[in-house]
Amino acid sequence: MNFLILLYFLLFTLLSRLNLKIAVLILIFALPSYLIRFSIFSIPSTLLEMMVLIVSCFFIFNNWKKIFKKSKKEKDTNKTPYPFSWEIILILLISFIAVFVGSLNFSALGIFKAYFLEPIFLFIVILNIFKGEKDIKKIISTLALSALVVSLVAVWQQLTGQFIFNEFWADINNRRVVSFFGYPNAVALYLGPIIPLIVGLFVFNFKEKGGLTLFLNQFLLFVALFFSFLAIYFSKSKGALLALILAFLITGFILLNKKFKLIILGLFIIFSPFLFIYKKDWIELKLSTSLSYQIRVAQWQETMKMLKDGNFIWGAGLSNYQSKIQSYHQEGIFFNKDADPDFARKIIIFDDKYRVERWQPLEIYLYPHNIFLNFWTELGIIGAIVFMFLILKFLFISLKLSRKEKHNKNKYIILGLFSSMLVILIHGIFDVPYFKNDLSIIFWILIALLSTYQLSYKQQKRV
């Protein structure tokens, strides 16, 4: 195995030297390769991390004169600053400080390296070597191909039950697919942000003129889209499905003209209070009988207790949440699994048999399963605010650019980027859409693609 990894690195290094763009595209296709883990001189690493390191080194090597040497004739006024530059600087600084907040150890340094330093370095590489419409299409097509492979494995698991190593999920009555990953939600977290990009490029291509190459690309996108939706459905991730539905509804609303927008808004304002009153009991029943929701509520409550108890500003620090939360952790909750209307009374009066049947033990998770709390516990309140500001700024800029492209096909890819970030934000209400090697890179790929469009418009203004 070590020999194969070494051989792969040698070939990937050679490819990076010959064609850095293709090397980066292979890296993007192989985002799940972080699951291949090994150690170099007792330092843990992954296949994905080493690929990021190799392409970053070759980028610096190819551009060291521009990076480290400044021409006297070069005027600063001719330079276009990086989009999101101060947010990136703050995130790097805050995440580095967070290494020391909890405890300075290899785990905290590893998270800083894998979830912040390396993805941001890859953002810089993509922003500098991928230019224009064709390159953006290549990146999205590569993500679509990656999503297709992940999805095909997931669908095969659903049909056969093979390669699902958790017996409960493998059972036909409880089956949830995991693809290459260790748990079902990882499938949905990976595919969720990619799906809107595929839709955006698919619509974009309808405006294009082309022959067999365009047809094959459209066929790839359609098949990837179809199997990605199937894989998320078979993973039974309600959060991902809800995020996709809401993201597409919001994006569809944006595409409507003003007249229809006003009509829909008016109808929503008039009827939503009645629907809420009518459905209030149904919503409360669904939430009270959803185990995943009740577990998350318990997580959020104990996390808030921990943060308020002397950790409000700095959080727990990188890789220190599990240690910090232990003294606040609830061993379990009573869960109303059968929607018993007399549930509360039976629990209070100590019906022992009833209590035992409805007792649900709770484990300590790596993160509190809420996008704001995830960043808050790891990076402190300032880090959480900076990240949320970055996401909201991304959404604002993507909407602004899509309006500039009102009569141009590029608006569909830009709105695809908008929808992808919405999926991350909405799914993040109930899950962890950033703190994983592949997810953090997808996040910064979105930032890089939008930044490419933003830089293009800024340069057009100067001409």
**pTM passes above 0.95:** no
Interval 58-80: pLDDT, tens = 999 888 766 565 544 444 555 66
- pLDDT confidence bin for 281, thresholds 50/70/90: low
**Statement: residue 286 has pLDDT above 90:** no
Give the domain ranges of the chain.
1-48, 83-124+261-329+364-463, 130-236
Instruction: Quote the pLDDT of residue 67.
Output: 59
**Statement: residue 203 has pLDDT above 50:** yes
Mean pLDDT of 314-338: 90
**Statement: residue 406 has pLDDT above 70:** no
Output the CA torsion 197→200→202→207 (10° steps).
-150
Interval 238-260: pLDDT, tens = 999 999 999 999 999 988 877 77
Instruction: Quote the pLDDT of residue 348.
Output: 75
Instruction: Quote the pLDDT of residue 65.
Output: 67
- Among positive and negative, which fits the CA dihedral 37, 197, 370, 94? positive
Instruction: Quote the pLDDT of residue 116.
Output: 97
Alpha carbons 190 and 31: distance in angstroms, whole number:
9
- Among positive and negative, which fits the CA dihedral 372, 83, 422, 399? positive
Interval 437-446: pLDDT, tens = 999 999 999 9
Instruction: Quote the pLDDT of residue 72.
Output: 46
